[in-house]
Structure 1
């Protein structure tokens, strides 16, 4: 990355940190210099040139990173055309994942939930996330099936207060992280889809 940044800086015709010697007759110091418009005198060194060079490298790096992410998401959005529309009674949920260098070490946890009026007990319900394939394309998508009734523990609550909250399915499948394609999930209209990204830690030897 450092080599690429240096090439980019040169291609732009920017010479960061260049110093030009000049004499200062008013002080009698023939060795003073101007660095990025700031005068250096009496041996005092100013890091303006280095700071400017570092700033340019950071800007080039950020520009390349943003361009890469935008290109990856644009490709994923184009591929969405291959996926079917939601049938009646279903809703299509689409997740666009940002491009990462360590995608093999990441997984996407899909959370299936329903908003319910509940008390202090723990509530959950059963569901399945079935993988299917787009005909003629080979792209995978997922369908929420087998949504069961909400079950709960039977603890005695201090009061009868109830509140609306997201009740999660007992299953949270971990799917492959792939920024090149959209992650498409079909679910009943009364079911909410959320997700979170899991990242593996470093490998460790056994004892």
Structure 2
């Protein structure tokens, strides 16, 4: 009887873990608002990680633009909001300005299509696999992301 209890407990734990790995539909998590006119809602689900405090999510919101050899960027602020009554964060990119560019002389014929990101505050987010990252952005903005992780190697500073 003791081994059956152990197998059942292990089975429940495995089922629970696999349920976490499966991303729930957004409406099953919480009643996040529908996007306002002129905005779209984008959602990022991240996989569970050991020690999630060692990870961050960088949001790369932007547009694909025709660019030359100059460095291009858009500007904006990703603001964190609170889902009232739930305490869950969601993010809103209210206004995107630009593009801004360096002013170097470029050789003719070197134009290409390239993703130009929005640069500003609020784009590095806490990693949390238990909640989706919900973003409201203007409808002409594409959202990409990348995961950052801390190195396990820690160096010691030298007193000088």
TM-score interval, normalised by the smaller of the two chains? 0.7 to 0.9
**Following superposition, which runs of at least 4 residues in structure 1 exceed 4 angstroms of deviation?**
74-77
- Structure 2: state its 5+ residue gaps: none
Please state how far the C-alpha of 1:163 moved relative to its aligned partner: 2.0
The aligned residue for residue 193 of structure 1 is 143
Q: Pick the aligned partner of 2:132 from 176, 179, 182.
A: 182
Greater per-residue helix proportion: 1
The aligned residue for residue 89 of structure 1 is 38
Q: Deviations over 1:99-137 (max 9, x none)?
A: 111101111111121111111211112110001011111
- Structure 1: state its 5+ residue gaps: 1-6, 12-59
Change (3 A) 1:76 1:175: farther
Tell me the TM-score normalized by structure 2.
0.80
Q: Pick the aligned partner of 1:149 from 95, 98, 106.
A: 98
Please state how far the C-alpha of 1:67 moved relative to its aligned partner: 6.4
Bigger RCO (CA 8 Å, 6+ sep): 2
Tell me the SS of whatever aligns to 1:82. coil
Q: How many residues align?
A: 149
Tell me the SS of whatever aligns to 1:196. strand
Please state how far the C-alpha of 1:145 moved relative to its aligned partner: 2.1
